[in-house]
Chains A and B, each alone.
Chain A
Amino acid sequence: MVSGILDGLWLVPALPLLGVVLNGILALFVERPLLLPAAGPPSAAAGHGHGASYRTLVAFIAPGVVGAAFVVALLCVLSLAAAPPEGRIFVQVLFPWIQAGAFTAPVAFQLDPLSSVMALVVTGVGFLIHVYSVGYMSHERAFARYFVYLNLFMFAMLILVLADNYLLMFVGWEGVGLCSYLLIGFWYEKQSAADAGKKAFVVNRVGDFGFLLAMFLIFWTFGSVSYTEVFAKAPLLSGDGTLTTGLATAITLLMFLGAAGKSAQIPLYVWLPDAMEGPTPVSALIHAATMVTAGVYMIARSSALFLLAPDTMMVVAVIGAATAIFSATIGICQTDIKRVLAYSTVSQLGYMFLACGVGAFTAGIFHLTTHAFFKALLFLGSGSVIHALSGEQDMRKMGGLKKRVPVTFLTMFAATLAIAGIPGFSGFFSKDEILWKSFSSSMGSPVLWVVAAAAAGITAFYMFRLVFLTFFGTSRMDPEVEKHVHESPWTMTLPLSILAVLSVIGGFLGIPAVLGGAFGVPNLFEGWLEPVFRRAAPAAAHAAEEAAHHSAALEIGLMALSVGIALFGIGLAYFLYRARTEKPDEIARKWPTVYGVVFHKYYIDEFYEWAVVRRVVRGADWLWQMFDARFIDGIVDGAADIVRSAGDRIRRLQGGIVGGYAFSLLAGAVLLVGYILYRSIVQ
């Protein structure tokens, strides 16, 4: 067991929380009064006037705490790495959280290779994006509020990845959902932004519903929600028949529902494109690099359970592959630069799920890591473009920016090469690993490979379409916008550059054995994560071994084929958007139906609106108006009305007319005497 520096593990989530508190105080007591309408007409001066000093403070605190968290996390990971592979697990219990009878869930953090990868990615990329945000949001009036949310997000995300039990993970899980809600709706005065935030939260909640139920099943099956206990008991219980395949399938399918909600998989992906209403760094951090990958992390974390449910694995793989190609096709027709990237993110997440579904968890996590680099970079780059163009997001109004924003162009281009899977760039290694595993794994199939490879080709196509439309060709910008085009400040370009370097070289962490083996370079990434998956599930190791049965030649051949497909996609993009720029419109005119359907994202949003939202609202309205107000209250008020009208009739006997009273007196006397008479006769 390792300790020492690891005892400071709690600082990793605590530091961002400190940032939340400090920035929160600044936001509430310094910034809020400046923003009130009563404080005068809104002016940009608020940002640079007497409030400027607090902004500097915020600009130091917010990235500072995240940077510090990164350093602490790095130190912890290094100290963890010092231990032998089998001992690389560290649990720190802070305090008991919920205890009721047999149920107990402490606030406890667990650092093992898997969570350390996540923690480093989250804090590292998070730090860069915080720095970037300082530049990007410099004109924003609610500067401190933004960083409060951003720090809060870091806190929740770190809870999610560092938790040592499912319940605490769920806390982070919902916490990031909340921050996503807050940040998407950051510009809440914009109706679409507020709507998108709500949509994200609600769709996520549908997933959380699955997660929650999965957690109940886990507790009542295993008697615990702690990872260590659950994974240790899983083989035992499955051996003695308590944990049947059906039960395992139920648990994992419910978990996958949760993962699909968070990681925007079919059918719950609809919120992610709308989430682009948030500020661009938020899209980069939450909706590309970190939060949306939580689902992948959760499945990888629960690999021990998933491997017991082959049916679920197949569902995960199929949904992953389907999402990958489905959203890639939508990406082709989008014109909003951020939406293209959003659908690309959904598609790439599909790859990660595909990897998990075929049992290649390492590959999934590896792709998660490289994707965090290049997709964050792409978003930040697009943010830089948008920043340069004074907020313009429509690619049809860009073009020829190559010279005007050189750093942005170069870094984005590197990221594009990475995502397209050009050999040598990070995306190549990770994506190819997934492709190969989906083909070779005992749970994979050639069909999955074909789908995934096709999606890779489409990805290369639309990414280069994006680059060509944005940076090459002639300018289609508004003249007014064009005048103000400028390269971004260093706070923005520096993170871009760092991420670009990572996007290029990040892949060398996990060189596939077939390539690296020849040069004696080990697959560092796999070696690092291996204890986690082997400990959790010997079966995974088994699957990996099976993959090794395939020949190296086949692997190299498939690799070359996929690169070829990617190059074809790039070539097609060049042909359509550089060489023959009139062609795309022609195609759209030729097949208006197909184009229209794809352009409208297959009308999925409209379908949900029609099939779910409107039905539910109408049904609820009916329940209220008819059932509640008419039926139940009808009975209640009806009972009251009967009493009242009966009373009204009886009341007339007491109309105040003396004769009436005398008459009832008389009637009473008649009855009374009659009764006495009757009794005397009967006796």
Chain B
Amino acid sequence: MTGIDLLDRHLLSVLIGLPTAGAAALLFFPRDGRKAIRNAAFLVTLAEFLLSLLVVARFESGTAAMQLAESAPWLPQYGIGYLVGVDGISLWLLMLTTFIMPITILSAWSAVERHVKEFMVFMLILETAMVGVFVAIDLFLFYVFWELVLIPMYFLIGVWGGERRIYAAIKFFLYTFVGSVLMLVAILVLYFHHYAVAGFYTTDLLKLYELAIPAKLQFWLFAAFFLAFAFKVPMFPFHTWLPDAHVEAPTAGSVILAAVLLKMGTYGFLRFSMALFPAAAADFTPLIATLAVIGIVYGALVSMVQKDIKKLVAYSSVSHLGFVMLGLFAGNLQGIEGGILQMINHGVSTGALFLIVGIVYERRHTRLISEFGGLSKVVPVFAFCFMVVTLSSIGLPGTNGFVGEFLILLGAFRTHMGLTVVAASGVILAAVYMLWMFQRVMFGKVTNEENLRLRDMNGREIAYMLPLLVLVFWIGVYPQPFLRRMDATVHAFVARVEAGKRAALAEAPPGRTMFTRTFDARK
């Protein structure tokens, strides 16, 4: 009984700690016992997922407060604490993380033959870091997890990647690191500003939310946070690390990268940039929405002309993440809920697409579209899965992609009508590039002899694809369970951002643009 209680009270800490504990245990496994290592890693991630289901069970959808919160002093003299909790924004991202991990472990079953133990250890550490990012509500703790994510990912790309893995790994690392360093500076500024205003040091996010920050300072802080998150998302024009990282990363790495790591950027915008600096967010909105829309169209166009399937999917991520950003910066309930849902959708659909690419790659060791053709006939189960995932990525009604994209566009239409019209054309382009690719890979006659001997998906592959397909249809047909749990939080969020915006407008006369306001204030 007490054990259950203890678990309940420290559920999030257990979720953070479990994978690392698993990783530590893996260190004692004999190096040659690959099978045992794989099984153990899978069991750990599966246990993590099952435990995380408890979070959903315990989650109260009626409140905007942080739930399952835990706090413990960490560096009390600096006001830094170990504070974790979930709300409607982070809940599904947390779930997505724990959900996708067992799947990626399964996908790496036979794809990773070298250094299996190290691979699994890195994967598990990565999971700890990702879970930590989504549940941390202390700025310092968040930053620690944020940076911790980089390390295992760097190695996953750099060690188990493709031919240009070193280039890709370093590019990935430096790109995101440049951003996070700026963020660190902004965090410190915020930290000292809080001291100057409130008289004590803290990195507790909820306390920082209550801080009134002058618009001028908000501008610079937002700009610093913006770069950190924009690199991670990645927003156009900061996206070029993504295709390289995706193409070179092993399948499992790509899946995690697409499903979770990119979401850290969008989540950061929501949790930090917009919530802490509402006035600056309002100022930046036109810029960000424009970049998002450029990203949507640009990503789609560039996807269209790719010759490598994986690169195509990577660029399509740029396009999809543009949708997410547009939704978040629509600033209304529909847009933000759509944005959050689309984060999940993108995790599911694009994750699945990378798994699909991984399946062919494992068999043919090539990802060039021109190498394929007519696969439908040879590998029917694969064709079916591929089709469903493709349609979900296109955003066909009845699949998850539609619900997210629809809500985003619906919300954004209210606030940025012209941009939304352009963004909606991304829906057309998505059909063009995905179907064209699908056609070239799956339809036509089998022109390459090697493709005739292709094996269809085996039981393990079907086993990890199936949950994704179920989710595709579940969110597509009945998204209510997902949306309802966001409602209260997003409502409160929109209200807070609006209030912050109004306060800032009261401070500076309306009608000023972002730059005039900021730079005038300096005189």
Contact = CB atoms under 8 A, between A and B. Distances in A.
A324 B120 CA distance: 65
A198 B403 CA distance: 23
Contacts of B479: 97-98
A624 B376 CA distance: 29
B396 A174 contact: yes
Nearest to B433: A620
Interface residues of A, number: 55
Contacts of B384: 28
B420 A178 contact: no
Contacts of A205: 427-428, 431
Nearest to B380: A32
Interface stretch (A209-217, A449-457, A466-474, A569-577): A209-217
A673 interface: no
A216 B420 contact: yes
A35 B380 contact: yes
Interface stretch (A185-193, A237-245, A415-423): A185-193
A167 B483 CA distance: 17
A36 interface: yes
B424 A175 contact: no
Given A96-B480, A636-B240, A188 B442 contact: yes
Interface string A89-103: 000000111111111
Contacts of A167: 406
Given A188-B443, A194-B444, A209-B424, A202 B480 contact: no
A170 B421 contact: no
A558 to B, nearest CB: 42
Given A98-B479, A100-B337, A188-B443, A35 B428 contact: no
Given A98-B483, A616-B301, A619-B301, A202 B435 contact: yes
A154 to B, nearest CB: 15
B332 to A, nearest CB: 7
A103 B305 contact: no
Contact of A101 (B306, B333, B445): B333
B380 A209 contact: no
Contacts of B491: 101
Given A189-B374, A617-B304, A632 B478 contact: no
A217 B409 CA distance: 11
A151 B242 CA distance: 41
A517 B258 CA distance: 69
A206 interface: yes
Contact of B302 (A35, A185, A624, A633): A624
A556 B410 CA distance: 50
A208 interface: yes
Nearest to B413: A216
A36 B381 CA distance: 11
Interface string B3-43: 00000000000000000000000000000000000000000
A621 interface: yes
Nearest to B412: A216
A633 B175 CA distance: 11
B409 to A, nearest CB: 7
A213 B332 contact: no
A421 B502 CA distance: 67
A143 interface: no
Contact of A103 (B334, B431, B439): B334
A171 interface: yes
Given A185-B443, A191-B444, A624 B305 contact: yes
B378 A37 contact: yes
A201 B175 CA distance: 38
B436 interface: yes
Interface of B is mostly: helix
B380 A36 contact: yes
A595 interface: no
A633 B238 CA distance: 9
B162 interface: no
Given A97-B479, A101-B332, A178-B396, A194 B378 contact: no
B425 A103 contact: no
Interface string B262-303: 000000000000000000000000000000000000100110
A647 B144 CA distance: 29
A222 interface: no
Contacts of B411: 100
A32 B379 CA distance: 9
Contact of A617 (B305, B374, B397, B452): B305
A628 interface: yes
B428 A209 contact: yes
Contact of A628 (B240, B380, B443): B240
Interface string B49-78: 000000000000000000000000000000
A100 B478 contact: no
A246 B60 CA distance: 45
A173 to B, nearest CB: 8
Contact of B403 (A96, A98, A212, A215): A98
A205 to B, nearest CB: 5
Contacts of A173: 397
A195 to B, nearest CB: 8
B237 interface: yes
A624 B306 contact: yes
B171 interface: yes
Contacts of A212: 406, 409, 424, 427
Contact of A632 (B240, B332, B376, B431): B240
A216 B420 CA distance: 10
Interface in B343-368: none
Contacts of B81: none
Given A171-B397, A213-B413, A216-B420, A35 B483 contact: no
A623 interface: yes
B212 interface: no
B161 interface: no
A99 B483 contact: yes
B427 A216 contact: no
Interface in B405-452: 406-407, 409-411, 413-414, 420-421, 424-425, 427-428, 431-432, 435-436, 439, 442-445, 452
A434 B484 CA distance: 49
A178 B428 contact: no
A206 B306 CA distance: 22
B237 A623 contact: no
Contacts of A621: 305
Contact of A189 (B174, B338, B444): B444
B334 A100 contact: yes
A599 interface: no
Contacts of A35: 377, 380
A220 interface: yes
Nearest to A173: B397
Given A28-B381, A632-B240, A170 B427 contact: no
Contacts of A208: 427-428
A21 interface: no
Contacts of B333: 100-102
B406 A633 contact: no
Q: Which of A195, A197, A209 has the most CB of B within 10 A?
A: A209
B179 interface: no
A167 to B, nearest CB: 7
A174 B332 CA distance: 27
Given A173-B397, A181-B435, A216-B409, 12 more contacts: A28-B384, A98-B407, A101-B491, A174-B398, A178-B391, A194-B444, A202-B428, A206-B428, A623-B302, A624-B301, A628-B240, A636-B171
Interface of A: 28, 32, 35-37, 95-103, 167, 170-171, 173-175, 178, 181, 185, 188-189, 191, 194-195, 197-198, 201-202, 205-206, 208-209, 212-213, 215-217, 219-220, 616-617, 619-621, 623-624, 628, 632-633, 636, 640
24 contacts: A32-B381, A37-B378, A95-B478, A98-B406, A98-B407, A100-B411, A103-B334, A174-B398, A181-B435, A189-B377, A189-B443, A194-B444, A198-B435, A198-B439, A202-B431, A202-B432, A202-B435, A209-B424, A212-B406, A212-B424, A213-B420, A213-B421, A624-B305, A632-B237
